Amino acid sequence: MAMKQDFRVIDSELHLMEPFDLWERGLAEPLCSWTKVVPPPEGHLAPSATRFAIGRDATLPPDHTSVVLKQALRRWPDDHHMVKASTQCSPEVFLEGLDIEGIDVAILTPTLGIAVTTRDDLEPQHALALAESITTTPRRSAAPTRRASSSGAGCRARSQRWRPRKHGAA
- Measured CA to CA, the distance from residue 146 to residue 103 in angstroms comes to 12
- Measured CA to CA, the distance from residue 170 to residue 158 in angstroms comes to 18
pLDDT of residue 151: 30
pLDDT of residue 100 exceeding 80, the answer is yes
Mean pLDDT of 79-107: 76
pLDDT band for position 119 (cuts 50, 70, 90): confident
Q: Is residue 8 packed enough to be buried (19+ CB in 10 Å), middle (13-18) or exposed (0-12)? A: middle
* Domain map (residue ranges) of the chain: 10-55+64-136
User: What are the pLDDT digits (tens) for 45-89?
Assistant: 565 566 777 777 766 666 656 676 667 666 666 777 767 766 676
Helices (H), 19-143: 22-26, 67-73, 80-87, 91-101, 112-117, 124-135
Which of 94, 91, 109, 117 is closest to 37 using CA atoms?
A: 117
The per-residue pLDDT of the chain, averaged, comes to: 69
Most confident of 115-129, 137-151, 152-166: 115-129
Name the pTM for this structure: 0.57
